[in-house]
Amino acid sequence: MAEDLVIESPHSLVEHQFEDRFQQKEAATLGMWTFLATEVLFFGGLFVSYTIYRHQYPEAFRQGTLDMKWYLGAINTAVLLLSSFFMALAVRAAAVGSNPKIIRYLVLTIVVGSLFLCIKVTEYYIDYRERLVPALNFSEARPREDELGGFTRTFDKFDEWFDSHVSPPIGKAAVRPRNEQLFMLFYFIMTGVHATHMIIGIAVMLVLIWMAHRRRFSAEWHNPVECFGLYWHFVDIVWVFLFPALYLLRNP
Amino acid sequence: MAPTDHDHVVPVWIYVAVLIALLVLLVLTLVTAFFDLDARFHSAHLNMGVAVFIAMCKAFLIILFFMHVKYSSRVVWAFAGAAFVWLGILMTLTLTDYITRPQAPTVAVSPYVPAPAEAPGPR
């Protein structure tokens, strides 16, 4: 059995600088958290500047928030939480040493993560049709109904229904303030950087699936799955804060 | 806690419970967002405070259970905590400056100040 392990997965042994596999795993986890600390500060810088500018131009940012499709953001939050759940199950499958289960749950994570990206792209398309993209087509006047296209108009129809029957937005401006562009810039940069992290994550998961297919992981050695799980959950946490910041602060 | 000498395998129902709790918090943050709490309770930034608080609860659940920090050694606790302590310093010190300024320079040096109209005349 021990010889099988060596032949099948030469990396499964403890590297020579470690006492045992638990110390090795501890070192890997610590290294990952150190990387995540730099990521916290990277996104933290964006959040701090967002907060400062929101404090500076509260009404422009609020009008921007009112232009967001909050229900798409909410669906995406649920979708991403679900993908995190599958990721947790993949890490658990790794801890009990089941390569087929690792593959199953990583595939589920990728499928649900891709659904998130599809909804995100749909939102970007709607923003484009609504003339909300700074430096490309932002316009203070809202586009006329016939300029929107049938797809975007469907969402606007739902907005109108929700606004008149459930919760009217307080003081939505007829003409957008010019500095709403600042909000839209933050929106595109923050969600764009977040989506980039997800695309990188999906690429790494494909590699992990390949490794699991080669039966490289075992109950004794599965550090890559464990560390990648930390990364994926971190990306989830970033969205948990992006969602209220960009979609939900609707009241003056 | 010393570095663990065994892999902690968490029962699946804990992950299911955390997922359900996260989804409940999501619904809660949605519902509160559509009530004007500031007007109702004569407060400032209550809507924002509630939204941020719920987001922090979600983050704690993810960090403790999905990221296994609850079952990790003290060193991992320290490293994970340090990240958020630095973020707290970054936020607090920056915001104490900006929020207490009567007028921030970005307002004063706006490039969009229109030039005064010149009187038409022969040149």
ipTM of predicted assembly, 2 dp: 0.90
Residue A44, helix vs strand vs coil: helix
B73 interfaces chain A, CB cutoff of 8 Å: yes
Is the predicted pLDDT of residue B35 greater than 70, yes or no?
Answer: yes
B7 Cβ contact partners less than 8 Å away, ≥ 6 residues apart: A25, A95, A219
> How buried is A114 (Cβ within 10 angstroms: 0-12 exposed, 13-18 middle, 19+ buried)?
middle
Least confident of A86-90, A167-171, B49-53: A167-171
Q: Which residues of A touch B7 (CB under 8 A)?
A: 25, 95, 219
Please judge whether A81 and B26 are an interchain contact, meaning their C-beta atoms are less than 8 angstroms apart. yes
**pTM of this structure:** 0.88
Please judge whether A92 and B54 are an interchain contact, meaning their C-beta atoms are less than 8 angstroms apart. no
B122/chain A closest Cα distance in angstroms: 36
Q: What is the DSSP letter of A51?
A: H
Query: Distance between CA atoms of A170 and A251, rounded to whole angstroms?
Result: 7
Counting residues of chain A whose pLDDT is more than 70, the rounded percentage is: 95
B43 interfaces chain A, CB cutoff of 8 Å: no
A114/chain B closest Cα distance in angstroms: 19
A55 interfaces chain B, CB cutoff of 8 Å: yes
- Domains in chain A, CATH or no CATH each: 35-248 (1.20.120.80)
Query: Distance between CA atoms of A133 and A127, rounded to whole angstroms?
Result: 7
Is the predicted pLDDT of residue A247 greater than 80, yes or no?
Answer: yes
Q: Which residues of A touch B21 (CB under 8 A)?
A: none
Q: Which residues of A touch B90 (CB under 8 A)?
A: 41, 44-45, 48
A244/chain B closest Cα distance in angstroms: 6
Q: Which of residues 100-159 of A touch B (CB under 8 A)?
A: none
Q: Is pLDDT larger for residue A73 or for residue A167?
A: A73
B110/chain A closest Cα distance in angstroms: 11
Q: Which residues of B touch A249 (CB under 8 A)?
A: 33, 47-48, 51
Counting residues of chain B whose pLDDT is more than 90, the rounded percentage is: 53
B7-23 tens-digit pLDDT: 678 899 999 999 999 99
Query: Distance between CA atoms of B97 and B104, rounded to whole angstroms?
Result: 10
Size of interface A-B (CB pairs under 8 A): 145
Q: How confident is the model at residue A170 (pLDDT cuts 50, 70, 90)?
A: confident
Q: How confident is the model at residue A145 (pLDDT cuts 50, 70, 90)?
A: confident
- Of B87, B67, B86, B90, the closest CA to residue B77 belongs to B67
Which residues sit opposite A141 in a β-bridge? Answer: A175
